[in-house]
Amino acid sequence: MSTLLEPRTDAAPMLDVERLQVSVGDNLVAVRDVSFEIRKGESVGLVGESGSGKTLTCRAVLGLLPESGEVDHGSIVLGNGSDSVDLTTARRGTWNQIRGTRIAAVFQDPASYLNPSLTVGHQVDEQLRVRGGLKRKDARARTLELLTEVGIHDAANVYHQYPFELSGGMLQRVIIAIAVSLNPELLIADEATTALDTVVQAEILELLRRLRRTHQLSLLLVTHDLAVVAETCERVLVMYGGEIVESGPTEQVLGDPQHPYTQALMRVASIGDWSRRTLDTIAGQPPAAGEELPGCRFAPRCQYAAPACVERPVPLVDLGGDRAARCVRVGVTA
Amino acid sequence: MTTVRNLLRIPSARVALVILGAVVFLAIFGERLAPHDPLHQFPDVLANPSGHYLLGTDYVGRDVLSRLMAGTRLSVIGALEAVAVGLVLGVPTGLASVWMGRAGEWVSLRISDTLMILPFTVFAIAVAGTLGNGLHQAMIAVGVLTSPGFFRITRAVALGLRTTQYVEAAELMGASRWWTLRTHIWTKILPNVAVAGAHAMGTALLIVASLSFLGLGIVPPTPTWGGMLSADLGFLEQQAWAPIFPGVLLMLTVGALNILADCIREASTGQVRRRRSLWTRATTRRDNTPIGVPALAGGVVVTEEEDQRVYAA
Amino acid sequence: MTSTTLTAVPVAPRTRRDGAAHHVLAVARPFGRLVLTTVTVLFLASVVTFALGALSKSNPAAAVLGETATPDDIARMNHQFGLDQPLVPRYFTWLGNALHGDLGQSWFTTVPVSDSIRQALPVDLSIALLALVLAIVMGVAAGVGAALREGGLVDRAVTVVCSIVATLPPFVIGIALIVLLSVKAQLLPAGGYVAFDQSPTQWLRFAIMPALALSLEVAANIARQLRTSLVGALRENYAIGAEMRGYSRRRVLFGHVLRNAIAPTLAVIGMAIPLIIGGAVMTEKLFNLPGIAQLALQSAQRGDVPVVLGTLLVTAVIVLAGSLVINALQVLLNPAARRGGAHGGPR
């Protein structure tokens, strides 16, 4: 493992999410009491199955909650010192200053995130001109540089192409080029490689790793795929039913999972060990948004569930060494 | 049938149906129930509403209420005739075009294009000038120009259905074309045609009114809403409020038809997504297409592409 | 055609396009199809027009002389206007002449129909053009204004006005304008016409009110369609993507969304052309304009079949020309079609 994947606990938090609660629809709580921080230059994975609240969490950070969603309480502070902003109270004007220059995002289905009737070159140019203040000619030269940097070989040709003329992998590269063009502090990749085929997925992940180094990016990687996290992230946050159930350095969490849900996920994923690959599933259904359970939200599916689990809320137990897990058993076994 | 039941469950649909029911009632019994002879000229010209003339009299002293009631029949029948002609010409050809082969399809589409570029009023004038002036000529002319709308809707739904797997499967299993049509396609096409028909009816009512203004279709002194409206507008100086009566009647009927169309669409898709107030229904369509655009016309006049606006396929 | 999931498309080796020549060829295909369609529709329109004349039971002698026409008169005048020939050759003669700009003679005045139309046409074309411009300006302004703040005051006002316009017969709007602007405010003449080449300012004084009356319905349609497309497009991922890059609402709307919302709006404008030409009949009567619709109406009332047919055909050609322009614009605006239409392109 390279030194890059070593956790850097010394750096100051660049993004600090405190006790965030997001609800959708008729006050259905979908993200509850989520706290985490991302330090400068760090890459953090946010893992969970669909409906776990991971996408809503990242949308809250981006200020892109759906119309029915809103932040009930909590804070999302970007930066520290004089340039820190609480994003939960940011207005459109503030967002327009932050997005693109301090926070950038890459999503699933890259084809839909580019304007279908503008050439991709135009769209990279636009970002450099409008947000970066570059002149038309300079912008164009920089665009070609950026396209080359994200691994597009015939950048001069691709510059003039429309999104429908390019493959998904190429489009994701273009979107990444736009995202990193103004050297943001934080890049959020929400299932950015999910829809791509395996080879392209690996290439894009490699690209993200490389860009993190060259652009000093902090990365929040939202995915359901533990393998992606294992390859890319220094720290991992595991979400279940709207809560963070386990967090810590990737190697430790995946190597020695403390929460039964993480353990179950590891069994299902069987990273790197094809001989162990079975068609394991986690029995039962995750709780729906807004479903109130008095105790642990994983208890109904947990093989170790005991009466203590369902009586009262289970707190997140600090295990030291930057690790934490939300399970009644960890205090005992630790 | 479930569509009809669903429809009756929507409050706005019931309001629209009550209004339309009242219009139908007037169309049938209006002339008999009218307090006066709609053609009788009283000496009180341009009288204000009073106990004797409930809505006043017009410029030659005819009772406005009686004329409104008696005029309902011809206004409605004219529009009905136009829509009926449009349906008869448009729906069967729309269905047939799907199974006609490429050349047949192309020709039928071009015919529909041709009818779509002819403006209603100019064509109605030409028909009056060549085939004679009368309600039937005018309404058949309007009906012919309405048919491309029905043609396109029917065709679009049938086309969408033809390529769905269950119809393909039925054909593969040796179902006859007629059987396929009856069992699978009617249930889908009928609601769409009903939606288009309600809109076309509203449009036709407005066209009948416009033609009366031009002196085409029904000629004075026979009362129609449009004829009364255009006549009243000539006496605004004396009776500024007079056009309100036929105008409101016309707007209510057209509005009710638009609301009904919206409700049929909702009922046939079976998804009552959220409560839409009477007002939102009256001002916006479910698919948000403009109400003013001839409800049926699809796409730019001459298009290669099929009309994508299939409501409930 | 609607959903092209590009993720599934493998990176195919692409042939290098070699400059302008390739480009022209790629555009030629959709345009060729457009021309073929237009010519066919034109032919069919001429058939419909001619068929109306052929189905007509009136003849020049009966129309001109009325009850007093003798069988002799009828035969003589039928011969004079070539009505004694069989239908098919008569159609082709008529079509051939029409293509050369000869639409026959009036039964009453024997004035060439094309002369009468040529006199009346500038009135219609100038007013229709003004109406179209007014409609686009008002419609786009209202549509964009409404979409800027969905559910806001402007949005609701636009919706209300549009739905009222949609349930009124168009002549009511014209009369309302006359009452407001001529009778009450005494700002504009209530009727009459001065040609543009005589005095552009006078022309505008006479043309503005009919044009306004014609444009309101179309403006309402444009506003509604544009609002709908814009509001829909603002929820599309590419708009969210643009927002994520920190662009102002204005830039997202005008730089990104408007471009894609324009195609359905163009379609509405295409449909507006027959609406405006058809509405011209109303405004010409209302404002007493010496236009082509007045000509048609007067000729229809006295049974002057050649003039009626001529006006119908010319109207059809004008509408067709308009929709040809709109369709050509659609093709040009669609990058997929511009590149030969091999891919889906923007919706």
* Domain parsing of chain C, residue ranges: 46-102, 125-342
Q: Please report residues of C whose CB lies closer than 8 A to that of B121.
A: 278-279, 281-282, 293
How far, in Å, are B45, B214, B278, C14 from residue B244 at the CA level? 18, 20, 22, 66
C-alpha–C-alpha distance, residues C280 and C264, integer Å: 24
CB contact under 8 A, A100 and C9: no
For B228-234, the CB contacts below 8 A with 24+ separation are B228/B58, B228/B64, B228/B67, B228/B68, B228/B71, B229/C169, B229/C172, B230/C171, B231/B58, B231/B59, B232/B58, B233/C171, B233/C172, B233/C175, B234/B59
Query: What is the token pair recorded at C225?
Result: 């369609």
User: Nearest CA of chain B to the CA of C229: how many Å?
Assistant: 9
pLDDT, tens only, B217-251: 766 677 778 778 777 777 766 766 777 788 888 88
The contacts of residue B19 (CB under 8 Å, 6+ apart) are: B252, B253, B256
The angle at the Cα of C105, spanning C100 to C111, to the nearest 5 degrees, equals 110
Query: pLDDT band at C17, cuts 50/70/90?
Result: very low
Report pLDDT for B1: 60
> Which pLDDT does position B270 carry in this prediction?
58
Tokens linked to B51: 């106990």
% residues pLDDT > 90 (chain A) = 26
Q: Do B293 and C48 touch (CB under 8 A)?
A: no
Residue in chain C closest to B211 (alpha carbons) equals: C282
Whether chain C has a CB inside 8 Å of the CB on B128: the answer is: yes
SS3 of residue C118 by DSSP: helix
CA dihedral C143, C148, C153, C156 (to 10 degrees): 40
Among the partner-chain residues A118, A127, A162, the one whose CB lies closest to the CB of C245 is A127
Write down the pLDDT at residue C20: 45
Residue B104 at interface with chain C, using a CB cutoff of 8 Å:
no
In C, residues 159-198, which contact B (CB 8 Å cutoff)? 159-160, 162-163, 165-172, 175, 179, 183
Neighbours of A214 (CB within 10 A): 10
Q: What is the structure's pLDDT at C137? A: 95
Identify the sign of the CA torsion C323, C327, C328, C332: positive
- Could you write out the DSSP letters of every residue in chain B? -HHHHHHHHSHHHHHHHHHHHHHHHHHHHHHHH-SS-TT---S-TTPPP-SSSTT-B-TTS-BHHHHHHHHHHHHHHHHHHHHHHHHHHHHHHHHHHHTSHHHHHHHHHHHHHHHHHS-HHHHHHHHHHHH--SHHHHHHHHHHHHHHHHHHHHHHHHHHHHTSHHHHHHHHTT--HHHHIIIIIHHHHHHHHHHHHHHHHHHHHHHHHHHHHHT-SSPTTS--HHHHHHHHGGGTTT-TTTTHHHHHHHHHHHHHHHHHHHHHHHHHHT---S---HHHHHH--TT---SSS-TT--SSSS-SSPP---S--
Model pLDDT, residue B309: 31
Residues of C in contact with B283 (CB under 8 A): 159-160, 162-163
Q: Are B303 and B42 in contact (CB under 8 A)?
A: no
pLDDT per residue over A1-58, tens digit each?
Answer: 444 444 545 567 889 999 999 988 878 888 988 999 898 888 999 998 888 888 889 8
Q: Residues A133-161: what's their mean pLDDT?
A: 91
DSSP result, C14-44: PPPP-HHHHHHHHHHHHHHHHHHHHHHHHHH
pLDDT band at B30 (very low <50, low <70, confident <90, very high): confident
Task: Specify the higher pLDDT residue, B218 or B16.
Answer: B16
Give chain B's mean pLDDT: 75
Burial class (CB in 10 A: 0-12, 13-18, 19+), C102: middle
CB-CB under 8 Å, A127 with C259: no
Q: Which two tokens stand for residue A136?
A: 């038309």
Alpha-carbon distances of C63 from A206, B128, B136, C74, C302, rounded to whole Å: 87, 14, 22, 10, 7
Asked if residue C342 has pLDDT above 60, the reply is no
**Cβ pair A329, A304 in contact under 8 A:** yes
User: pLDDT for C234-292, tens place per residue?
Assistant: 888 899 889 889 898 888 888 888 888 888 888 888 888 888 888 888 888 888 888 88
Cα separation of A24 and A4, whole Å?
A: 37
With contact defined as beta carbons under 8 Å apart, do C209 and B250 qualify? no
Give yes or no for B78 touching C (CB within 8 A).
no
Q: Does the interface predicted TM-score (ipTM) exceed 0.85?
A: no
- C117 touching chain B per CB within 8 A: no
pLDDT score of C25: 59
Listing DSSP states for A185-254 in one string gives SEEEEESTTTTS-HHHHHHHHHHHHHHHHHHT-EEEEEES-HHHHHHH-SEEEEEETTEEEEEEEHHHHH
Range among A158-162, B165-169, B217-221, C258-262 with highest mean pLDDT value: A158-162
Under CATH, which number does the domain C125-342 receive?
1.10.3720.10
Residue of B89, B111, B127, B130 for testing the chain C interface, max C β-carbons within 10 Å: B130
* CA-based nearest distance B257→chain C, Å: 10
The pair of three-digit structure tokens given for residue B191, joined into one six-digit string: 């609601």
**Beta-carbon separation of B130 and C56 below 8 A:** yes
* Arithmetic mean of pLDDT, C115-132: 88
- Rounded CA gap, C264 and B300, in Å? 9
Query: Are B and A close enough to touch, i.e. 3+ CB pairs under 8 angstroms?
Result: no
Q: What are phi and psi of B9, to 5 degrees?
A: -80, -15
Chain A interface, mutation test: which of C3, C240, C245, most A Cβ atoms within 10 Å? C245
Chain C closest-CA separation from residue B247 CA (Å): 8
Angle at B151 between CA B149 and CA B154, to 5 degrees: 105
pLDDT of residue A221: 92
B230 in C contact zone (CB under 8 Å): yes
pLDDT computed for residue C341 by the predictor: 44
Q: B295 to chain C, minimum CA–CA distance in Å?
A: 11
Q: What is the mean pLDDT of residues C134-153?
A: 89
Q: Indicate if the pLDDT at residue C15 is higher than 60.
A: no
* Cβ–Cβ under 8 Å, residues C237 and A115: no
Is the per-residue pLDDT at C35 higher than 80? yes
Q: Do chains A and C touch (3 or more CB pairs under 8 A)?
A: yes
Q: Which residues of C touch A186 (CB under 8 A)?
A: none
Please judge whether B117 and C278 are an interchain contact, meaning their C-beta atoms are less than 8 angstroms apart. no
Kindly compute the dihedral angle of the four CA atoms of residues B20, B294, C169, C52, in this order, to the nearest 10 degrees: -110
User: At C194, which helix (H) or strand (E)?
Assistant: none
Which distant-in-sequence residues (6+ apart) come within 8 Å of A294 by Cβ?
A: A310, A311, A312, A313
By the CB < 8 Å criterion, does B57 face chain C? no
Q: Give the distance from residue B1's alpha carbon to the nearest chain C alpha carbon, in angstroms.
A: 30
Q: Which chain A positions have a beta carbon within 8 Å of C243's beta carbon? A: 64, 99
> Cβ contact (<8 Å) for B131 and C55?
yes
Contact residues, chain A, for C343 at CB < 8 Å: 164-165
Q: Among A227-236, B16-25, C10-19, which is the least confidently predicted range?
A: C10-19
Residue C121 scores a pLDDT above 50: yes
Q: Which chain C positions have a beta carbon within 8 Å of A175's beta carbon?
A: 241
Exposed e or buried b for every residue in B263-301, given b needs 16+ CB within 10 A? bbbbbbbeeeeeebeeebbbbbbbeebbbbbbbbbbbbb
Q: How many CB atoms neighbour CB C111 within 10 A?
A: 12
The predicted pLDDT at position C53 comes to 83
* Most confident option among A44-48, A307-311, B7-11, B201-205: A44-48
Which percentage of chain A shows pLDDT scores above 70? 92
* Candidates B283, B299, B302; nearest CB to C38: B302
Q: Which residues of B touch C266 (CB under 8 A)?
A: 300
Mean pLDDT, chain A, rounded, equals 85
Q: How far apart are CA A304 and CA A313, in angstroms?
A: 16
Neighbouring chains to C with at least 3 Cβ pairs closer than 8 Å:
A, B
The overall pTM is greater than 0.80: no
pLDDT band with cut points at 50, 70 and 90 for residue C24: low
pLDDT of residue C153: 86
Cβ atoms of residues C173 and C216 within 8 Å:
yes
Mean pLDDT over residues B194-202, rounded? 87
Interface residue ranges in chain A relative to chain C, Cβ cutoff 8 Å: 62, 64, 92, 95-101, 104-105, 107, 109-118, 126-127, 130-131, 157, 162-171, 175, 178, 195-196
The nearest CA of chain B is from the CA of C170 a distance in Å of: 7
**Share above pLDDT 70 across residues of chain B, in percent, rounded to a whole number:** 77
Among residues C142, C256, C155, C264, the alpha carbon closest in space to that of B303 is found at: C264
B133 vs C contacts (CB less than 8 Å) = 300-301
CB burial class (10 A; 0-12, 13-18, 19+) of residue C74?
A: middle
Distance between A284 CA and the closest CA of chain C, angstroms = 32
Q: Which residues of C touch B159 (CB under 8 A)?
A: none
pLDDT given for residue A128 in this prediction: 92
Residue B307 has pLDDT above 60, yes or no: no
Rg (CA), chain A: 20
**Which has more confidence, A268 or C222?**
C222
Among B110, B254, B293, whose Cβ lies nearest the Cβ of C271? B293
pLDDT tens, residue by residue, A55-73: 889 889 998 888 788 888 8
**In terms of Cα–Cα distance, which of A217, A192, A191 is closest to A204?**
A192
Residue A257, min C-alpha distance to chain C (Å): 34
d(C-alpha A132, C-alpha B70), whole Å: 72
Pairing of strands A28-39, A218-223: unpaired
Residues B246-269: what's their mean pLDDT? 82
pLDDT band, very low/low/confident/very high, at C133 (cuts 50, 70, 90): very high
Q: Tokens 């009644």 label which residue?
A: A328
**Bridge-based pairing state of the strands A218-223 and A186-190:** parallel
Instruction: Using an 8 Å CB-CB cutoff, list chain B residues near C59.
Output: none
Q: How far apart are CA A320 and CA B2, in angstroms?
A: 63
- B282 interfaces chain C, CB cutoff of 8 Å: yes
pLDDT tens column, C181-240: 877 777 777 777 877 788 888 888 888 888 888 888 889 888 988 888 888 888 888 998
Cβ distance of C346 and A100 shorter than 8 Å: no
**Gap between the Cα atoms of B162 and B189, Å rounded:** 12
Mean pLDDT, residues B133-155: 88
Calculate how close chain B gets to C242, using CA atoms only, in Å.
24
Q: What is the pLDDT of residue B85?
A: 94
Give the pLDDT confidence score for residue C44 in this predicted structure.
Answer: 92
B165-172 vs B135-162: helix crossing angle, rounded to 10: 80
